[in-house]
Amino acid sequence: MRCLIVDDEPLAHTILSDYVQKVPFLTLVGATTSPIEALTQVQRGEVDLLFLDIQMPELTGLQFLNLLRRGVAGHNCRVILTTAYSEYALDGYEHDVVDYLLKPISFERFYRAVQKVMPSASAPILPTADSPVLASPAPPADIARDFIFVKTEYRLQRVNLGEILYVEGLKDYVSIYTTSERILALQTMKTMEEKLPTSQFVRVHKSYIVAVSHIESVERNRIYIGKTVIPIGDTYRDAFFRHIDG
């Protein structure tokens, strides 16, 4: 399927382009910041699947959809919305979009969305041994990447996995403690747990995720990372010890 990315953020182009290249049945035909340019490509019938940002200065994603659904040639193009603002979800679904991806977008969530438009509905198309992605359908969170992007108050910030010491949950926010700084991210603990590879990170408490490689010692129900003492919750104790013993 021929894919086009329409977003006014270059970082979104980078992330989504990387994701598209990991999926065997998707082909990237372009990435643009101009919805007018994208509309022309769709009109020419050059695009099967559109990743469309909602908040753009020239023409909003919803305005784009209105034009697309009002008889513009190429209206059979499928659309997946991408945005940092969840309040637009209902408006998007009223336009019969395939899915609605909330930034920052994990590969797992991206892959679930594109599976809805895969060419054959009878059997999932998974990366094969010849694919540059995965030799077998391993959990998406464990794809070999050494960084993640998290949404802070003003931007998407790259965080290197090897620098993360631990993550502390604060209701709808998380504090990511690294070797050099503390990053306050607009994420939930559940989202962070899904983002972080299970081979390197483990949930040890309802409020804590720790990097296994940075654990200095464990004493009873306490984990020591530098001068920080992190409790091990009863619910997570058995899984934690199985993880470090394995």
DSSP symbols for 162-175 = GGEEEEEEETTEEE
Q: How far apart are CA 57 and CA 8, in angstroms?
A: 8
According to the 3-state scheme, what is the secondary structure of 5-24?
A: EECCCHHHHHHHHHHHHHCC
The pLDDT value recorded for residue 63 is 80
Q: Are residues 165 and 57 in the same domain?
A: no
The answer as to whether 142 is a domain residue is: no
Query: Dihedrals φ, ψ of 150, to 5°?
Result: -125, 150
**Final residue of a domain: which of 133, 162, 193?**
133
The answer as to whether 153 is a domain residue is: yes
Q: Are residues 74 and 38 in the same domain?
A: yes
The pTM is what?
0.48
The pLDDT value recorded for residue 133 is 43
Q: How far apart are CA 113 and CA 117, in angstroms?
A: 8
User: What b/e string do you get for 202-225 counting C-beta neighbours within 10 Å, with b at 16 or more?
Assistant: bbbbebbbbbeebbeeeeeeebeb
Q: Are residues 128 and 152 in the same domain?
A: no
**For 139-185, what is each residue's pLDDT tens digit?**
344 334 688 888 887 678 889 999 999 999 987 789 999 999 999 98
**For 182-226, what is each residue's pLDDT tens digit?**
999 888 898 899 889 988 999 999 999 999 999 999 998 999 999
Q: Are residues 232 and 173 in the same domain?
A: yes
The domain total for the chain is 2
**For 6-50, what is each residue's pLDDT tens digit?**
988 888 899 999 999 999 999 999 999 888 888 888 888 899 999
Query: In this structure, what CATH number is given to the domain that contains residue 45?
Result: 3.40.50.2300
The pLDDT value recorded for residue 26 is 93
Contact 173, 184 (CB under 8 A): yes
Q: How far apart are CA 12 and CA 10, in angstroms?
A: 5
The answer as to whether 121 is a domain residue is: yes
Range of the domain at 199: 148-245
Q: Output DSSP code: residue 140.
A: G
**For 73-132, what is each residue's pLDDT tens digit?**
445 788 898 887 665 544 544 566 888 888 888 999 999 889 988 764 433 444 443 444
> How many residues comprise the chain?
246
